[in-house]
Structure 1
Amino acid sequence: MKVQEILSAIKQRKYKPLYLLHGEESYYIDVISDAIENSVLNDAQKGFDQTILYGKDVDFSTIISAAKRYPMMSDHQVIIIKEAQGLKWKGEEGVEMLAKYVDNLTPTTILVFAYKYGKFDKRTKLFKAIEKAGIVFESEKLYDNKVAPWIVDEIQQQGRKIHPQAAALMAEYLGTDLSKVANEVQKLILNVPKEREISVQDIEQNIGISKDFNVFELNNALGKRDALKAIQIVDYFAANPKSNPVVLVMGTLYGYFSKVLKYHYLADKSSQSAARELGVSPFFVKDYEYAARNFNKSKLFHVMTILKDYDLKFKGLDAGPNTSDGDLLREMIFKILN
């Protein structure tokens, strides 16, 4: 089931007696388990009929004994096993106990396993039994190019809009940790007036990412072969290394020039088709088209070689002993533009 379907069912008080929430992305595991923890019982009932346990501190015998009990003050009792990956899932007698319980679930118990930072073994009989008897949800890690669309969708679900460049800027700087991204999204929702679109300026004011000196502006300056602007941005990066780590800058430049090169080889360069093939918003396609005019295929292959060479230098290979990251960035940008 999809996360919104599960949350909708919980909101409608349509519960399952067993939930296995697993996967590499912890955000949605927390969202679903928190929804169950916070909405099934009221505060008075929780003291009697809600139990929160942690995988590394509990065994299956304790879990099953608790699950077989009946509620005292409500229609359901809730048992949530947080950090369930800490349980001993292999070669233990307790796993057999759980399998037997899955075959004969207590209908008034809602048992939740929040299994984070990895996938449950789908080949096991236990997984198949849980899948048949309850709800299994896999929270998949979001790839880098999916974070910006996720931000746009998350904000749209709250009846708001965000400029594509603002979403892309957030995605590039915040990475794929959805808990962190979601916190920043909520900050924007609270601080930006409802009647207008969230802009790049709002990102600067509320999240602290410069609207003028960031990796996207560097990409644009290089794509336009604007040497003055590119050096100004690199100077800013050199003066603010914590906000603009070299690893982020290099990763973004490599991704950008890879897409420019890919653009050259597209059979269909229409906005929608190119956006789909490049994995970007249609809003940005014109930037890649412009950059492709300034960088032919031969030059782009040379740029890739430059990026590879300087990646090694930033890691300490073949760089002078007194050469700073800022000096290397300036030198690299000069070679890209000449």
Structure 2
Amino acid sequence: MDDVKQIVKDIKSGTIKPIYFLMGEEPYYIDAISDYIQNNVLAEEEKGFNQMVLYGRDVSIDDIVGNAKRYPMMAERQVVIVKEAQDLSRTIEKLASYAENPQPTTVLVVNYKYKKIDKRKALYKTLKKSGVVFESKKLYENQVADWIRRVLSGQNYAISPKAAQMLVEFLGTDLSKINNELEKLKIILPEGTQINADHIEENIGISKDFNNFELRKAIGERNTEKAFRIINYFADNPKDNPMVVTISLLFNFFSQLLHYHGLHDKNPRSVASALRINPYFVNEYVAAARNFPMRKVSIVISTLREFDVKGKGVNSNAIPQGDLLKELLVRIFNA
């Protein structure tokens, strides 16, 4: 995120490089930088003749170089944006010859999503000298809630830990999807608002009471009534609550609980750091550790592995996922 801010800051100050090669697993930042260049480097009246968008599936490296070597018309520079450039992965190294001597009046933006070029080869080394190489790395799930908080903080909003966790559990690590939902909330809610679970439920449609976050908490507290209520809701709404997601999240929770049992320092701050969780959630692990000693945690993890396979149709005899989840819950509470 700091690299993105620096790139934007440099462009605003007039320090514009002839090539921006944007690559990596996380498309959100690639799109953010590319869109910023597309919207801000040229004035509106200059874009008609001097801004071009190409698509990797439709062009060759020679086509890109040919367009990049053109001179701008009645403007200081032109912008050439290549989207979906990963479709040119077999020939992308041919761009190295252009990168050695790029056209100074062209801003070439290459969006190379979900992949990255070989840093040992000529293209990468040449790009580092003549332009900007930005690698957009995928965030781990335990980093996404902090990302949500940082983004909202910069826009004069806040969010409760539970609300952030609900977004992560419902939308995963797809930053573009999360950002789209945050944009919707910002249209509805005034600046300075702390977004809470009610806002998420009312405006995005994620139940604040029937979700994996609440299921995990209920299991940790050994609240069987609440846990089965949530599982029944999941059984009635299988498309919105796929079993594979539930098992994955429970597996992560019990794996962290096993880690918690092994910690020598159980100070809340140390626990939050070791488990890479928000301090707000530490008490959940403390409560769950009392109800699930290390031996039981090991049994639960083994059970989750078994049901993960069953949920994918192996040795389950086409049992409905709702019934499998209910059986899983019984096994967990009897561990």
Structure 1-normalised TM-score?
0.94
Residue type at the aligned position of 1:328:
L
Distance in 1 (CA, whole Å) between partners of 2:214 and 2:138 is: 28
Distance in 2 (CA, whole Å) between partners of 1:144 and 1:69 is: 44
RMSD of Structure 2 on Structure 1 (CA): 1.6
What's 2:75 paired with?
74
1:142-193 Cα distance to aligned partner (Å, 9 max, x none) = 1121111111111111111000111111111101111111111111222223
What is the correspondence of 1:32-111 to structure 2 with a 5 Å cutoff? 32-87=33-88, 89-90=90-91, 95=94, 98-111=95-108
Q: Give unpaired runs (5+ residues) of structure 1.
A: none
What's 1:124 paired with?
121
What's 2:326 paired with?
330
1:34-76 Cα distance to aligned partner (Å, 9 max, x none) = 1111111122211111111111211222222222222112211
Instruction: Measure how far apart 1:102 and its partner are.
Output: 2.1
Count of aligned residue pairs for this structure pair: 333
What's 2:138 paired with?
141
Instruction: Measure how far apart 1:320 and its partner are.
Output: 4.3
Instruction: Measure how far apart 1:245 and its partner are.
Output: 0.7
Cα 1:78/1:302, change in 2 over 3 Å = same
What's 1:271 paired with?
268
Mapped pair 1:254 → 2:254: no
Mapped pair 1:10 → 2:7: no
Cα 1:319/1:104, change in 2 over 3 Å = closer
- Answer yes or no: is the 8 Å Cα contact 2:218–2:224 preserved in 1: yes
Instruction: Measure how far apart 1:194 and its partner are.
Output: 2.4
What is the correspondence of 1:292-303 to structure 2 with a 5 Å cutoff? 292-303=289-300
Distance in 2 (CA, whole Å) between partners of 1:307 and 1:281 is: 24
What is the correspondence of 1:234-245 to structure 2 with a 5 Å cutoff? 234-245=231-242
- Answer yes or no: is the 8 Å Cα contact 1:10–1:35 preserved in 2: no
Distance in 2 (CA, whole Å) between partners of 1:102 and 1:199 is: 48
1:239-298 Cα distance to aligned partner (Å, 9 max, x none) = 111111101111111111111121111121112211111111000001101110111111
Distance in 2 (CA, whole Å) between partners of 1:86 and 1:295 is: 49
Distance in 2 (CA, whole Å) between partners of 1:309 and 1:234 is: 18
Q: Secondary structure at the match of 1:56?
A: coil
Identity %: 49
Cα 1:90/1:70, change in 2 over 3 Å = closer
Which ranges of 4 or more aligned residues in structure 1 deviate by more than 6 Å? none
What's 1:19 paired with?
20
What's 2:303 paired with?
306
Distance in 1 (CA, whole Å) between partners of 2:315 and 2:253 is: 25
Q: Give unpaired runs (5+ residues) of structure 2.
A: none
What's 1:222 paired with?
219
Distance in 2 (CA, whole Å) between partners of 1:86 and 1:233 is: 44
- Answer yes or no: is the 8 Å Cα contact 1:13–1:40 preserved in 2: no
Distance in 2 (CA, whole Å) between partners of 1:305 and 1:101 is: 55
Q: Secondary structure at the match of 1:73?
A: coil
What's 1:317 paired with?
314
Cα 1:164/1:91, change in 2 over 3 Å = closer
Structure 2-normalised TM-score?
0.95
Q: Secondary structure at the match of 2:190?
A: coil
Cα 1:100/1:316, change in 2 over 3 Å = closer
Distance in 2 (CA, whole Å) between partners of 1:310 and 1:102 is: 52
Instruction: Measure how far apart 1:16 and its partner are.
Output: 0.5
Residue type at the aligned position of 1:296:
P
- Answer yes or no: is the 8 Å Cα contact 1:17–1:111 preserved in 2: yes
Distance in 1 (CA, whole Å) between partners of 2:189 and 2:98 is: 50
